[in-house]
């Protein structure tokens, strides 16, 4: 008798199964490695049939990126919410930074953050995962480019600037991603600072001569 109709038992059960599968998958991936984890191992850990796994996730890869997708979606929303007086790159910059502070709790709703972070690192060192990650980022970038174009009242298929701006921005993000993913000792706070530094350094990099001689 909830005023807000609570999802029925069926719905709740489904959610539990999905969560359990997701958590088991990430746990196994991060401890044994992605390639060395079979779907059977995941389903055995949750005690469902293999077929069920594929009903919840399009494939192994899809499970690996369920959380990452959440982050991408949130970022797109954050960009859409930026005030219109910011330039495109300002909007992108401020969107990441604002999102950064609240992303942790959003992730925690689904899986322990620690698990997510370990998964991110694994992505960087697993070719198959890195490939999938880059493609998903590319996709997310496309969406953001459309948002930027809309903000600026431009046609994304005529004017290249939205896509160029997003591509440039994504490139910088990728650098910090890599840096963070491969270094053992680099906390979230330091990485955030690094991101700011790189983004702010971007302008000069393009014009300046680097050599002091």
Partner DNA sequence: AGGTTAGTGACAGTCACTGACAATTGACAA
Partner DNA sequence: TTGTCAATTGTCAGTGACTGTCACTAACCT
**Which spans of this chain sit near DNA (rule: CB under 7 A)?**
8-11, 13-14, 17, 37-40, 47-52, 54-56, 58-61
Q: Which does 22 bind (CB under 5 to 8 A by kind): a second copy, DNA, none?
A: none
Residue among 58, 59, 57, 39 nearest 49 (CA):
39
Written as six digits, the tokens of 116 are 């997510």
**HSE-CB of 81 using CA atoms within 13 angstroms:** 11
Could you write out the DSSP letters of every residue in 17-31? Answer: HHHHHHHHHHHHHHH
Q: Which does 174 bind (CB under 5 to 8 A by kind): DNA, a second copy, none?
A: a second copy
Q: Whole-angstrom Cα distance, residue 140 to residue 203?
A: 23
CA 173, chain centre distance (Å)? 11
**HSE-CB of 123 using CA atoms within 13 angstroms:** 29
Binding mask 162-181 for a second copy (x = CB under 8 A): -xxxxxxxxxx-xx--xx--
83 binds a second copy (CB under 8 A): no
Q: CB-wise, 81 or 138, nearer to a second copy?
A: 138
Nearest distance in Å: CB 14, a second copy: 26
Nearest distance in Å: CB 8, DNA: 2
Site for a second copy in 94-153 (CB under 8 A): 127, 130-132, 134-135, 138, 152-153
Q: CB-wise, 164 or 188, nearer to a second copy?
A: 164
Residues 6 or more apart in contact with residue 48 via CB below 8 angstroms: 17, 21
Binding site for a second copy (CB under 8 A): 87-89, 127, 130-132, 134-135, 138, 152-154, 160-161, 163-172, 174-175, 178-179, 197-198, 201-203, 205-211
């Amino acid at each position: 008798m909830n005023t807000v109709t609570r999802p029925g038992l069926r719905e709740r059960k489904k959610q539990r199964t999905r969560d359990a599968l997701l958590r088991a998958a990430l746990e196994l991936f991060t401890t044994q490695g992605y390639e060395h984890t079979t779907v059977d191992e995941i389903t055995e850990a949750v005690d469902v049939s293999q077929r069920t796994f594929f009903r919840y996730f399009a494939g192994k890869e899809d499970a690996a990126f369920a959380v990452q997708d959440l982050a991408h979606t949130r970022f797109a929303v954050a960009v859409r919410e930026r005030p219109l007086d910011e330039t495109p790159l300002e909007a992108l910059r401020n969107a990441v930074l604002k999102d950064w502070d609240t992303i942790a709790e959003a992730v925690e709703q689904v899986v322990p953050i620690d698990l997510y972070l370990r998964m991110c690192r694994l992505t960087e060192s697993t070719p198959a995962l890195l490939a999938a990650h880059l493609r998903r980022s590319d996709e997310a970038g496309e969406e953001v480019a459309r948002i930027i174009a809309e903000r600026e009242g431009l046609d994304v298929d005529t004017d290249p600037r939205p896509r160029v701006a997003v591509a440039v921005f994504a490139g910088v993000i990728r650098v910090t991603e890599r840096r963070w993913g491969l270094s053992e000792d680099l906390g979230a706070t330091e990485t955030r600072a690094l991101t700011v530094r790189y983004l702010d350094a971007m302008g000069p990099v393009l014009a300046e001569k680097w050599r002091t001689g």
